[in-house]
Each structure stands twice: as structure tokens, then as C-alpha cells.
Amino acid sequence: MIPAIDGMETPEQGWRLVIGLGNPGADYEATRHNVGFDALDLCANRFGLPWQREQNALVVEIPEHQCTLVKPQTYMNRSGVALRQTWLHYELEEATQIFVITDDFHLPLGGLRIRANGSTGGHNGLASIEDQLGCQDYPRLRIGVGDPGCNSVDFVLDTFSAAEKSVIEETLMTSSWAVEDWVKGVPVEELQTRYNRRKPQAGSTEE
């Protein structure tokens, strides 16, 4: 477990991390489980910064905002291992210094939900992170990937259908703007007002 985290107020100074959850490797590219990776890729592209390998993660440092984008390379169920290493590297002290981006099949396709804390909702990546943090008090953005029906395992490891692509493309772009706003210091409460939604904006799914 990461050393004890005392106090949950957002620090005025100090480095911060955005953790996008997903699985490494070509077999998992563009799958529902990897939307956390995809949102961070869009954000990194706008900053014009390359991904670099750092222990068990790919990282992009954004010095002007004292923030690092992180894509764990430990596979989803061990996301907390990569978090622990980057946490110690940057000498973080508060759970509020991280922002986790993850898929959520409990949300409709295109839905977005930002929360300051909460349960794992049965998500193995979040469970691994919570195990390392020892608490639930970290902000997270859940990206709706649709209803899996009775087979959630195969569903999250599958790619989006042609009919879903326009929805998820808009959703990922919007998610990347939410990430960028957090990187730039926008409070979680304001991010919730700006981005939380049950479905995409009208017109965003048009071909």
C-alpha cells in the first residue's frame, strides 16, 4: 500500500497525475476497456508531447502545469502497481493529486460522469488503484461504453461497432478536454458542471 494519505484537500502546490486505464499491446487497441488510454492520447497530442517509458508506465510530463499523464503498462487488473511507482517517483501526498480516467459499462454509450470519490463499481482497474491508495477519495472520470448484456468480459475487450464510432469519437474528444481542464487546475466541481452527462450532446452522433 502507498504510504498513509493524510487529509483529502486538494494541495495548492505539488505534482499531479492523470491515470488513464487500459491494457497495453496491439490486441487491445481501440477496445472499450482502453478508452482511458485513448482520451489521454488525444490530450497528449494537443500538448504536442511524446509518450516515454518510465518503469511500468508510459508517461507524458507537462512541466508548465506540474502534471504527468500516465498509461499503466501492467494490464488493467494491476493498474495500481504502476500508480504506486509513479506516486513514489513524484512524491505525491494526497489522493486528490490523481485523476483516473476509465471505462464504465454501467453508463450508456457516450455518458460521462466525473466524481470526487466513490466506489470501484466492480471495476478491476479501480479496485487495484484503491488497494494501493487505501482509500476511495480520488477524482475519476467514467466514460460510458454501453450495456454489455450478460457477458461483460468479452464486451469490454471488444471494439466499437461502426454505428457506435461517431458517438465514441465525440465522447473521447470531450473526455480529453475534461482531462486538459483538470491538468490546468479547473476544480472537480466545475468539471462536473461542464462535462457530466447521461448521453452525448444532440447532433454529436451524426455521420
Residue positions annotated with a catalytic role: 33
| Strands 67-72 and 16-20, sheet pairing | parallel
Q: How far apart are CA 61 and CA 23, in angstroms?
A: 21
Cβ neighbours of 174 (radius 10 Å): 21
By three-state DSSP, how is residue 74 classified?
A: coil
CB contact at 8 A, 32 and 111: no
Q: CB-hemisphere CA count at 13 Å for 76?
A: 22
Q: How far apart are CA 105 and CA 120, in angstroms?
A: 12
Longest dimension (CA), the chain: 50
Q: How far apart are CA 37 and CA 81, in angstroms?
A: 17
Length of the chain: 207
DSSP class of residue 34 equals: G
Give 19's strand partners. Answer: 70, 100
